[in-house]
Amino acid sequence: MPKLTVPDLLTKVREGTPLSMITCYDYPSARIIDRAGVDIVLVGDSVAMTVLGNPNTLPATMDMMVVFARAVARGCEHAFVIGDMPYMSYQVSPSEAVRNAGRFMAEAGVDAVKLEGGRNMVEAVRSIVRAGIPVMGHLGLTPQSASMIGGYKVQGRTGSAAIALLEDALALQEAGVFSILLELVPARVTEVITEKLDVPTISIGSGAGASGHCQIFHDAIGMFEEFTPRHAKRYADVGATIRAAMESFCQEIRDHTYPGPEHSFKIDRQALQEFLTYAQKRTEGNS
């Protein structure tokens, strides 16, 4: 299957096919996700939490994101890959935003970038798009500003907050984004924003009315045993599968079942004889 492009994604939505989007941070998962036919793969700054165990996304850096994004991009022959711009890689100035977006494209080989924010980020978006790099916007719960917006909670629940979201979405569209991710926005607000926009929306925890849907890979496959957010759906229990496999591995080592002869390698008779003779002489020499 050929590599998906922005026009391909827009055509799918125009023809009534919702887009599928999942996060990914490594090559083997990317190969599996790509073969499964997912449309968009996001190398999210959520890697700082899901893979690196931090309490939030702020410790993600450009250098780190480029390494993860490169691995994922190598694994995706078909899926459209987006690099998530980490904290302070685009907020300082539009020129830094362009430089860092360019690093994602040139060093990691992604197809687009994503950044958080609305009207406050239109200059950065405009500059990146002007440089020929597709941008996905991100509104609603924007984890990089969780401290300012009051934590990890649903956004746009008051009339004025919902209006602000719509205005942010329209401003991002005007600045040139090809799509907007809506995170933890009430379902009805998502429906209205999606109706008012020409570009597709992608929902994560924002209801069924968006043009596409996203999940965090580790939530979708059950890799987080401690916590699953309300909006996430588990399609597999990979955590339990891995735990059972590791329990069997330990047990087989303890009871001498693993490794068996089928996991070992042979030396030919003559070489063995030579080796044994040498080993024997070596120990005699030492005694």
C-alpha–C-alpha distance, residues 238 and 245, integer Å: 10
Whether residue 203 contacts residue 33, with contact meaning beta carbons closer than 8 Å, is answered with no
Q: Which amino acid is at 253?
A: I
DSSP label of 31: H
Find the binder of ligand KIV among 4, 24, 40, 42 (CB under 6 A): 42
Instruction: Give every CB contact of residue 135 below 8 A, 6+ residues apart in sequence.
Output: 101, 112, 113, 114, 115, 125, 128, 129, 176, 177, 178
Determine if 84 is a binding residue for ligand KIV (CB under 6 A).
Answer: yes
Determine if 183 is a binding residue for ligand KIV (CB under 6 A).
Answer: yes
Q: Mask of contacts with ligand KIV, 190-219, x by CB under 6 A?
A: --------------x---------x-x---
Whether residue 90 contacts residue 126, with contact meaning beta carbons closer than 8 Å, is answered with no
From the CB of 122, what's the least distance to ligand KIV, in Å? 19
Catalytic (active site) residue 183: yes
Query: Which residue number, 23 or 211, has a Cβ lying nearer to ligand KIV?
Result: 23
Torsion of CA 37, 43, 49, 52, to 10 degrees: 100
From 40-48, 129-137, 226-234, 239-247, span contacting ligand KIV (CB under 6 A): 40-48
From 38-46, 247-255, 269-277, 278-286, span contacting ligand KIV (CB under 6 A): 38-46
Query: Which residue number, 197 or 216, has a Cβ lying nearer to ligand KIV?
Result: 216
| Catalytic residue selected from 15, 174, 183, 191 | 183
Assign 52 to helix, strand or coil: coil
Assign 62 to helix, strand or coil: helix
From the CB of 87, what's the least distance to ligand KIV, in Å? 11
Determine if 46 is a binding residue for ligand KIV (CB under 6 A).
Answer: yes
Query: Which residue number, 95 or 124, has a Cβ lying nearer to ligand KIV?
Result: 124
Query: Which residue number, 191 or 219, has a Cβ lying nearer to ligand KIV?
Result: 219
Q: Which amino acid is at 119?
A: R
Determine if 45 is a binding residue for ligand KIV (CB under 6 A).
Answer: yes
C-alpha–C-alpha distance, residues 179 and 120, integer Å: 17
Show contacts of 222-228: CB within 8 Å, 24+ apart. 223/50, 224/50
Query: Which residue number, 34 or 45, has a Cβ lying nearer to ligand KIV?
Result: 45
Which residues contact ligand KIV (rule: CB under 6 A)? 23, 42, 44-46, 84, 183, 204, 214, 216
Catalytically active residues, by annotation:
183
